[in-house]
A and B are shown apart, each in its own frame.
Chain A
Amino acid sequence: MKALRRFLDNIKPHFEKGGKFEKLQSTFEAFETFLFVPDQVTTQGSHIRDNIDMKRTMALVVISLIPALLFGMWNVGYQHYLATGQEGSTIELFLEGLKLVLPIVIVSYVTGLAIEFAFAQIRGHEVNEGFLVTGMLIPLVLPVDVPLWMVAVATAFAVIIGKEVFGGTGMNILNPALTARAFLFFAYPAYMSGNQVWTHGLMEGEGIVDGFSGATPLSMAAEGNVDNIPAVSDMFFGFIPGSIGATSVVAVLIGAFILLFTGVGSWRIMLSTFAGGLVMGFLLNAFAVNPFMEIPAWQHLAMGGFAFGAVFMATDPVTAARTRKGKYIYGFLIGLLAILIRVVNPAYPEGIMLAILLMNVFAPLIDHYVVESNINKRLKRAEAQAA
C-alpha cells in the first residue's frame, strides 16, 4: 500500500492548481479518496470525529440493496423460463438473469458516474457519493426488457434534471432514481407498462407457452381479475413478474433490517409508510365497491413495489422530510396515497412511485410547518413569561 500511496503522492502535484492535469482535479481526488481516507485533521471545533462518512453510508445502502438485486436476477431468469416453458437449475436461472440485468446496472453506473464526474469537474467540487445508491436503484425499478439506451437516457435525465440543476447531491427535490423511472414511464410508456414488459421475451412473443400472460398482480387486480392474482406467499417471496428488484418483500426486508440496524435508514418513515398503506387499505375495504377494493389491506403491502418503495425510496434522506414529526407525516401520506392511486386509478397500477414523487415535493412544506410550530411555541413561551 505504501507503494501505491507513494505513487499517488508523486502524481498528485500534476492534478493540483497549475499542474498539467489541473482540469482533472476532482477526478483524481475521487479516486484518491476512494483508495485512501484523507489525512485531513480537525482544526477548529470538535477535535475528534465519528468514523462515519458519506462513502461508508452510501456503501451500506448499496449493500442493503444486494439481496434485492440477487433475488431480482434469479427471478428474471425464473420468469423467463416460466414463460418459455423451459426448465433450469437455480444457477441457470440466476445466470440467465445476470446476463440480462448486469448490462442495465453497468449502463446506469457508467452513464451516471460519467455525468457526476463531469459536473464535479466543472464546478470544482469533490465527486459526491450519492450516485452509488442511485445507480443501483435505477436498474432495480425498471422492467427487464427496457432497452439499454433508454436506461442511459433516463439516468442522464435523472442526474442532470433531477439532481445537478438543483446543486447536486443533498440539494435535489425529487428522488433521482424515481425521476429516472417516471421519465421512462411517461416518455416511453410502451416499454414501462402493460403485461409484456415485465418478463424477458414477451415483447418478441416467440416461444411463449400458452396461457402465460406476464401480467403483474397489480395489473391483474386493476383489470378486475382479482381471483387469479398469485398467492400472497408468492408475492411475499417475489416469484411474480415485476420490476427487476422490487418484487420480493423478503429481499426488501433483509435490506430494511440492514438499514435500520446500522442506523442509516429512517425507521420513522418506513413505519409510517406501512401504516399509511394499511390505513388506506382498510378504508378501501370498508367502502369496497369492486374486487380490487376488497383485497385485504395487509395484502397490499406485499403487492408490487410497495415495500421496495417504502424501504429504499421513501427513506431517501435528501428528498424526504427532515424533521422527526415531519417524517411520520411524510411516510404516512406516501402509504396512503400509494394504495389510493394503485386501487382507484387504473392508469397507474404502481402507485408508490407517484406517491413518493408527490410527497418529495411536499416534504419541504411539511418540514416548514413542523418548524413553524416550534417557532410558535417559543413565541408563546416568551409571551407567557412577559405577561
Chain B
Amino acid sequence: MSKVHKIKRGLNIPLIGKAEKVIRNAEPARYYGVKPIDFQGMRTKLLAWPGDRVKAGTSLFYNKLQPHVKMPSPVSGKVAEVNRGERRKILEVVIEPDSQMEYEDFGKGEPRDMSRDGVVDKLTKSGLWTFIRQRPYSISANPEDDPKAIFVSGFDTAPLAPDNDFILKGENEDFQRGIDALSKLTSGKIHLNLNSDYPPSDVFTKAKGLQINWFTGPHPAGNVGVQINRIDPINQGDLVWYVYPQDIITIGRLFGKGIYDASKVIGLTGSEVKKPIYYRLLRGASIENLVKDHVEPGNLRCISGNVLTGKKINSEGYLGFFDNQVTVIPEGNYHEFLGWAKPGFNKYSTSRTFFSWLQPKRRYRLDTNIHGGERAYVISGEYEKVFPMDIYPVQLIKAIMIEDIELMEKLGIYEVDEEDFALCEFVCTSKTPVQPIIRKGLDMMREEMT
C-alpha cells in the first residue's frame, strides 16, 4: 500500500440504524420520479408530457443551459404527472411503470475500442452523461471540456452510509467497463480513493487503468472534495470531474448491454427503521413500499440520502438520482422544558457540555430539532475541528455573506461543495445555515464566471 492520506479533522456522528449486510429485492414501486432539483444549475425543459409513453432510457427532460444533459426514465411506462412548485418550477416527473420493461436500445460497444466522441455520444444520448459532475460548482460536466483528472471515491463515510465494498460485490466487469469509458474522457488520471482501514472489494483493487489512493480518518474522509483537496487541489481555472462507484457500474452496463439499467442497491437506514438492511431497486423508485411496514410509527422524517446532506421527502417520495440510502429519523417539532439546562445524559454533542460524554461508545437517536436559536458567530474554532481542508471555513462563509466574489475565490470556493460543510453546520453553536450559504456562493461564482 502506497502513501496513506490521513484525515485528522472530522467527525463520525454515532447514530443508531446502520444497515445490516443483507440485500433484498424491493417490491416494484407503483410510481417512479425523476427530480430536476437533484441536479445543480438545472433549467428544466420537458421532453415528455403526461400521457406520453416512455421506455427505460427515454429522456424525460433536459437542461436548457447544457442541452447535452438529459435525464432518462428509469422504467418504461406512462408519464403520470409533472409536479410543479412555485413559479411553475418542475419538481418531479412521475412515471407509472408497465408490467413489462421495455428498454431504449443504445447499442452495445466496448469502450476500450471506441473513440472519445463515440463514448461521449453514447453517454449523452442515453442520458448517463448526467452521472459525471464537475468541481467547481458540482454541476453536470461539459463533454467539450478536458478535466485534469476524474475522481472516484470508493467509500462513503457519511452517517449510516452504505458500504460500497458490499453493494458492488461481483460487479467487476461492469465497473471495469465504466472505468474504460471514463478513461476516454480525460487526458489526466482517474483517481480511485479507497479506505485503508480494511481490505476493499476486489471490484476496486483489480480494476485497471486508474490510480488507487488510500485514505483513513473520520467523515468527511470519504467525500470526494476532501480527497481532491489532498491529491490534486483545484486552482482557479482547473476542472475536475467526479463520479460515484454505483454510477460507474450503470455506465458499464450501458456499454455491456446497450441499455439503461437503472437498478442499484441502497441502504434503508436510520433509528426509526425496524430492520435496516439493503434493497435492490430502480433509481427514482417511490420509497412507499420501502418504508410502509418497515418503520416505527410516529412523527417521522424520510430523507433521500444521509442525514447531513440528503433531501427531505415524504413517505411516498422518490429516491434522489445520486442517493444511495434512505434515512428515517424522528421529527423534532416539540418544545422541551429547560432543555438547554438539563444534564443531558442522552443528548449527543461534540462538546462535553452534556453529560453524554460519560458514554463515549453510545449511539444516538437524533431528531430534526435545531436545539436553539440562530445567533451571530460567537464561538470560534468549531468548524475547523471538523473541516479537514486547508481552507478557512468561517472566513469563506463570511465572504459569501457579503458577496465578495474576489475574496471567495481567494479563500478557496472552487474546492468546496455543500457536503464538505455539512459537519460545520451540524456542530454550529450559532445554528448558521452553512450549506445553503455555500450553495449561494457557488451559484454566485458560476454566474460571475460564465
Quick one: which of A44, A53, A170 has the most chain B CB within 10 A?
A: A53
Listed by A's residue number, 15 A-B pairs whose Cβ atoms lie within 8 Å are: A33-B373, A36-B337, A39-B369, A40-B370, A44-B436, A47-B329, A48-B367, A52-B427, A57-B378, A126-B373, A170-B430, A171-B376, A262-B353, A266-B381, A378-B410
- A367–B411 Cα distance when bound, in Å, is 13
Chain B residue numbers with a CB within 8 Å of A56 are: 340-341, 353-354, 372
Q: Is A41 an interface residue (CB 8 A)?
A: yes
Assuming A37-B369, A54-B429, what are 13 further A-B pairs, CB within 8 angstroms? A1-B337, A36-B335, A38-B372, A41-B331, A41-B370, A42-B368, A52-B371, A55-B340, A126-B375, A169-B378, A318-B378, A324-B384, A371-B395
Interface residues of B in 191-219 (CB under 8 A from A): none
Contact B233 A381, beta carbon cutoff 8 Å: yes
Contact B353 A45, beta carbon cutoff 8 Å: no
Q: Is B394 an interface residue (CB 8 A)?
A: yes
Chain A residue numbers with a CB within 8 Å of B378 are: 54, 57, 130, 169-170, 317-318
Residues of A within 8 A of B (CB-CB), count: 62
Contact A38 B335, beta carbon cutoff 8 Å: yes
- The chain B residues found within 8 Å of chain A, CB to CB, are 13, 15, 233, 235-238, 301, 303, 307-310, 312, 327, 329, 331-341, 344, 347-354, 366-373, 375-381, 384, 390-392, 394-395, 410-412, 418, 422-423, 425-431, 433-436
Contact A53 B309, beta carbon cutoff 8 Å: no
- A152–B425 Cα distance when bound, in Å, is 38
With contacts A57-B429, A322-B380 taken as known, whether A169 is within 8 angstroms of B375 at the C-beta atoms is: yes
- The chain A residues found within 8 Å of chain B, CB to CB, are 1, 4-5, 33, 35-57, 59-60, 126, 128-130, 167-171, 261-264, 266, 268, 317-318, 320, 322-324, 327, 367, 371, 374-375, 377-379, 381-382, 385-386
The answer, among B310, B339, B353, for a CB contact under 8 Å with A47, is: B310
Chain A residue numbers with a CB within 8 Å of B428 are: 49-50
With contacts A169-B376, A170-B377, A375-B411 taken as known, whether A48 is within 8 angstroms of B366 at the C-beta atoms is: yes
Contact A44 B435, beta carbon cutoff 8 Å: yes
> B interface, by DSSP: helix, strand, loop or mixed?
loop
The answer, among A45, A51, A128, A167, for a CB contact under 8 Å with B371, is: A51
Contact A50 B349, beta carbon cutoff 8 Å: yes
Contact B371 A263, beta carbon cutoff 8 Å: no
- A264–B378 Cα distance when bound, in Å, is 11
- Using CB atoms, name the residue of chain B closest to A384: B235
Q: How distant is A137 from chain B, measured CB to nearest CB, in Å?
A: 15
Chain B residue numbers with a CB within 8 Å of A379 are: 410
Chain A residue numbers with a CB within 8 Å of B350 are: 50, 52, 263
Chain A residue numbers with a CB within 8 Å of B309 are: 46
Q: How distant is A387 from chain B, measured CB to nearest CB, in Å?
A: 12
Chain B residue numbers with a CB within 8 Å of A268 are: 381
Q: How distant is A245 from chain B, measured CB to nearest CB, in Å?
A: 22
Quick one: which of A47, A129, A268, A323 has the most chain B CB within 10 A?
A: A47
Q: How distant is B422 from chain A, measured CB to nearest CB, in Å?
A: 5
With contacts A169-B376, A324-B381, A382-B236 taken as known, whether A42 is within 8 angstroms of B390 at the C-beta atoms is: no
Q: How distant is B404 from chain A, measured CB to nearest CB, in Å?
A: 13
Which 4 residue pairs spanning A and B have beta carbons closest together? A53-B372, A170-B376, A37-B339, A382-B235
Q: How distant is A2 from chain B, measured CB to nearest CB, in Å?
A: 9
- A56–B306 Cα distance when bound, in Å, is 27
Chain B residue numbers with a CB within 8 Å of A1 are: 337
Chain B residue numbers with a CB within 8 Å of A36 are: 335-339
With contacts A44-B436, A263-B350 taken as known, whether A54 is within 8 angstroms of B373 at the C-beta atoms is: yes
Chain A residue numbers with a CB within 8 Å of B426 are: 46, 48-50
The answer, among B233, B237, B370, for a CB contact under 8 Å with A38, is: B370
Chain A residue numbers with a CB within 8 Å of B312 are: 43, 47
Contact B333 A263, beta carbon cutoff 8 Å: no
- A378–B381 Cα distance when bound, in Å, is 21
Chain A residue numbers with a CB within 8 Å of B423 are: 46
The answer, among A43, A46, A54, A130, for a CB contact under 8 Å with B308, is: A46
Chain B residue numbers with a CB within 8 Å of A46 are: 307-309, 422-423, 425-426, 434-435
The answer, among B15, B235, B353, B392, for a CB contact under 8 Å with A52, is: B353
Q: How distant is A273 from chain B, measured CB to nearest CB, in Å?
A: 16
Q: How distant is B179 from chain A, measured CB to nearest CB, in Å?
A: 25
